[in-house]
Structure 1
Amino acid sequence: MREALIVWGGWSGHEPEQCARIVSEMLEGDGFKVYVENTTEAFADPSIRDLSLIVPIITMSKIEKEEVQNLSKAVESGVGLAGWHGGMGDAFRESVEYQFMCGGQWVAHPGNVIDYRVDIVKPEDPICAGLKSFPYRSEQYYMHVDPSNEVLATTTFSGEILPWVEGVVMPVAWKRRHGKGRVFYSSLGHVAKEFEVPEMRTLFHRGALWAARRENEAAN
């Protein structure tokens, strides 16, 4: 049986505990044994290198050096990493090692919760199969992103709120490698209720399963 670790905490506005329950049930439905922790100390445990998947849900907050180093080494060894919105993309602002692993970092959401459009740019990818571009209401994340990311979905800023970013095409969902590990990220999902949006839920669910280490891939 594959095992997954969910670690929640940080800013409560992103409803990390509620989201942890949703994702735990999702992964249990896929046959994972799921562990849920609410402290970054879980990242320092050497046994996380035996997991299939790690899901961080910790907006802002801080992480100790030994915690992020062990987390990074676990992913480098083949453990999958998957997350969404600020729970993964705006965690540990002072840790460039963490940001390097994730492939991006939130820097702004002009206008806060607004209506915008998400464009699927890799419809041939299994994570995006059957999905079409869709309207969305949430925070439209402006991010600093790694050019090595394989971008799956984007959004375009209108410039209505910040005229100087008009026309900027920003990645919304991507996948990447970190050593032997697979990393998936989606900027969608400000609060738990957004998991009721089929496209948001499908992107994360498929992305997490893509990232998770397969049973035939030995831990090392």
Structure 2
Amino acid sequence: MVRGGWEGHAPVAATELFVPHLEKHGFEVHRADSPAPYADADFMAGVDLVVQCYTMGTIERDELSGLEAAIRAGTGMAGWHGGIADSFRNSSDYLHLIGGQFACHPGKDPAAPGAGTQEHNFVPYTVTMLPEAADHPITAGITDFDLVTEQYWVLTDDYIDVLATTTQKIRPWDPWHREVTSPAIWTRRWGKGRIFVTTPGHSLDVLEHDSVRTVIERGMLWAAR
């Protein structure tokens, strides 16, 4: 588990939520507060799964090269929200590896009270499951679900396998002119490795939502070597 970066996503508490699940399935969990272990090729060769919750921050060239090489060789990677989709903005190669990058989370009317607070960014939205999700081991049996939290607008490529989406509506104060649909849950194959990403997960209460938690728990197991 690599956790750190912006503290607003509670990286330590958030990752600790999932330690019992991983240990139950036989994992020995190592914790790091920076991406430095990625540069240790010998260590990474024995890592079956990277769970990353590291919002923003920076990554060094050797760290990213080590992470990419490990995934290419079969190490899995999993994460949620800004901990994986808004990590290491200094690196386009990291973006290429993950397949999606946080762009924004449009909030409430900027003229409404509370502008500038985190809560002002919490909006009601639906995570819509795609037909491909019906029998996927990460999402089987999960139906559309509603959240009130940050709704991520992400920039992606078409080399991701999308399991669920979310749609930004058009509101009177928004500058866009049609609805925008972004992936909310996706996977990506990279060499022999698997990558799992879900964009809900801003806070502990969201991570404890039944559907979100189930998707993350399954996604970690699916991604693991």
Which position in structure 2 is the counterpart of 1:123?
134
Distance in 1 (CA, whole Å) between partners of 2:76 and 2:48 is: 6
**Which one-letter code corresponds to 1:56 in the other structure?**
Q
Matched, 1:102 2:98: yes
Which position in structure 2 is the counterpart of 1:149?
160
Note the C-alpha offset of 1:195: 1.9
**Which one-letter code corresponds to 2:156 in the other structure?**
V
Which position in structure 2 is the counterpart of 1:55?
51
Which position in structure 1 is the counterpart of 2:123?
114
**Which one-letter code corresponds to 1:92 in the other structure?**
F
Q: Which of 193, 200, 213 is the equivalent residue of 1:181?
A: 193
Which position in structure 1 is the counterpart of 2:11?
16
Contact between 1:80 and 1:182, CA under 8 Å: does it hold in 2?
yes
Which position in structure 1 is the counterpart of 2:22?
27
CA RMSD of aligned residues (A): 1.1
Unaligned runs of 5+ in 1: 1-5, 214-220
Contact between 1:158 and 1:165, CA under 8 Å: does it hold in 2?
no
Contact between 1:80 and 1:181, CA under 8 Å: does it hold in 2?
yes
Distance in 2 (CA, whole Å) between partners of 1:25 and 1:166 is: 43
Which position in structure 2 is the counterpart of 1:162?
174
Distance in 2 (CA, whole Å) between partners of 1:119 and 1:183 is: 20
Contact between 1:85 and 1:187, CA under 8 Å: does it hold in 2?
yes
**Which one-letter code corresponds to 1:61 in the other structure?**
G
Pairs within 5 Å for 1:65-80: 65-80=61-76
Contact between 1:159 and 1:167, CA under 8 Å: does it hold in 2?
yes
Query: Could you list the per-position Cα deviations for residues 57-92 of structure 1 after superposition, in whole angstroms to 9, with x for gaps in the alignment?
Result: 100000111000101100000000000100000000
Note the C-alpha offset of 1:26: 2.1
**Which one-letter code corresponds to 1:33 in the other structure?**
E
TM-score, normalising length from structure 2?
A: 0.89
Note the C-alpha offset of 1:162: 2.2
Matched, 1:45 2:40: yes
Distance in 2 (CA, whole Å) between partners of 1:114 and 1:27 is: 31
TM-score, normalising length from structure 1?
A: 0.91
Change (3 A) 1:30 1:11: same
Unaligned runs of 5+ in 2: 108-120
Identity of aligned residues (%): 40
Q: In terms of mean alpha carbon deviation, does 45-54 or 86-95 score higher?
A: 45-54
Q: Which of 179, 196, 205 is the equivalent residue of 1:193?
A: 205
Change (3 A) 1:205 1:165: farther
Note the C-alpha offset of 1:193: 2.1
**Which one-letter code corresponds to 2:32 in the other structure?**
E
Which position in structure 2 is the counterpart of 1:211?
223
Secondary structure of the residue aligned to 1:210 is helix
Query: Could you list the per-position Cα deviations for residues 123-152 of structure 1 after superposition, in whole angstroms to 9, with x for gaps in the alignment?
Result: 121211110001111110001112110100
Query: Could you list the per-position Cα deviations for residues 22-43 of structure 1 after superposition, in whole angstroms to 9, with x for gaps in the alignment?
Result: 1222211221111011122121
Note the C-alpha offset of 1:165: 5.6
